[in-house]
Amino acid sequence: MMKKLLLYLSVFAILVNSGCKGGRALPQSAGRRDDVILIVPDEIKTDSLKKVLEHSEYYPSREEVYRVSEYPPPQLSQYKYWRNIVIVGSLGDTYIDKLLSEESKRSIEEGGGLLYEEDLWVDLQSVAIIAGRDREETQKLVNQYGETIYQLFRDKERERFEKVLYLDDFQRQKSEKMERLLGASFRIPLGYRISKEEGHFMTYIRKNPDRLVTLYYRIESILDPVKFRDSLFALYFEGDRVYAPMTRICEVRFDKITAYKIEGVWQNMEKVMGGPFISYVFEKDGIWYFLDGHVFVPGKKKWVYLEEVDIILHTFEKGF
């Protein structure tokens, strides 16, 4: 039950002194976006928590979303400026008691919980604290809240990255051209240029590494999104095909309507290339839209760039 165990900012007045950050210009956090610092006493077992945070994806090679580094509580002062931090402890632990307000302590005394704060010590930072009344309860909470923390970190990271992606606005002329030709558009970030343009089809690309976003529309319904993607990309991308065994399809809400979301791996056997993709297919006002983002990122983590193209796809706007 999340009711009292998940305590957000209203009861997480944990700022070290009086709790006021207002007006402070914070330095930016250290560490990469895929780093998580875990501060935990030796007695607490964290295998289940780390497994959830590391979260393996296959693109098609295995990739861990977060890289978790574990340190004992005395090293908190050394790592408190990191981007993503999880602090584990119990009431009575000095480092925990120093962080929590009296109100937060009283809430934990009622049953322990997960507490979350953004930009606690530095800007662009996420801090989660798992705190129980004693070691036994803390261990149960560690085993319980891995997925919640993972989702909090991912959601906040996506929010930050969207701000950075559009920090200097977007290429309005390119978006307006897309709208004129296709009747709909994305907000095209700086650094993207036209890659493919023909009829009802348009793709923008950013190189090094390759990130591509595609918009296509037609009147006829799209009954099989995977086969449709294969036919479209065979025509415009010289034989790219979906690797069926690693394909997932589900229904989601997109632009306030129901859409098919397709995730998986694309491959091109002739070019010996491949990588992850994400597509959306939906009908709106009598027109079927196909949106696709795919990346080619050899030697680097791919989820970071896949998230970038997904953010762009979600700026979809129908012009008429």
Q: Tens of pLDDT along 10-34?
A: 344 444 433 445 555 678 889 999 9
pLDDT of residue 255: 84
pLDDT of residue 80: 95
Residue 187: CATH number of its domain: 3.40.1000.10
pLDDT in tens, 34-76: 999 999 999 999 999 999 999 999 998 899 999 999 999 999 9
The strand pair at 113-118 and 6-7 is best described as parallel
Residue 269 belongs to a domain: yes
Pair 140, 183 in one domain: no
Pair 179, 155 in one domain: no
Query: From the CB of residue 115, how many other CB atoms can be counted at a distance below 10 Å?
Result: 23
Pair 180, 150 in one domain: no
pLDDT band for 107, please (50, 70, 90 cuts). Answer: confident
pLDDT of residue 9: 37
Length of the chain: 320
Pair 119, 203 in one domain: no
pLDDT in tens, 80-101: 999 999 999 999 999 999 999 8
Residue 219 belongs to a domain: yes
Residue 15: CATH number of its domain: 3.30.379
Last residue of a domain, one of 107, 132, 165: 165
Last residue of a domain, one of 135, 165, 195: 165
Last residue of a domain, one of 165, 196, 227: 165
Pair 182, 302 in one domain: yes
Residue 1 belongs to a domain: no
Instruction: State the total domains in the chain.
Output: 2
pLDDT in tens, 181-213: 999 999 999 999 999 999 899 999 999 999 999
Pair 155, 191 in one domain: no
pTM of the model: 0.89
Residue 118 has pLDDT above 50, yes or no: yes
Pair 121, 197 in one domain: no
What the block records as the tokens of 130 is 């798992």
Residue 42 belongs to a domain: yes
Domain housing 254: 172-318
Pair 12, 151 in one domain: yes
Pair 131, 225 in one domain: no
Residue 94 belongs to a domain: yes
Pair 40, 129 in one domain: yes
Pair 138, 201 in one domain: no
CA distances from 306 to 57, 111, 210 (A): 12, 39, 10
CA–CA dist 194, 235 (Å, integer):
17
Residue 176 belongs to a domain: yes
What the block records as the tokens of 316 is 């979809």
pLDDT in tens, 276-300: 999 999 999 999 999 999 999 999 9
Residue 192 belongs to a domain: yes
Pair 184, 240 in one domain: yes
3-state secondary structure 94-147: HHHHHHCCHHHHHHHHCCCEEEEEECCCCECCEEEEEEECCHHHHHHHHHHCHH
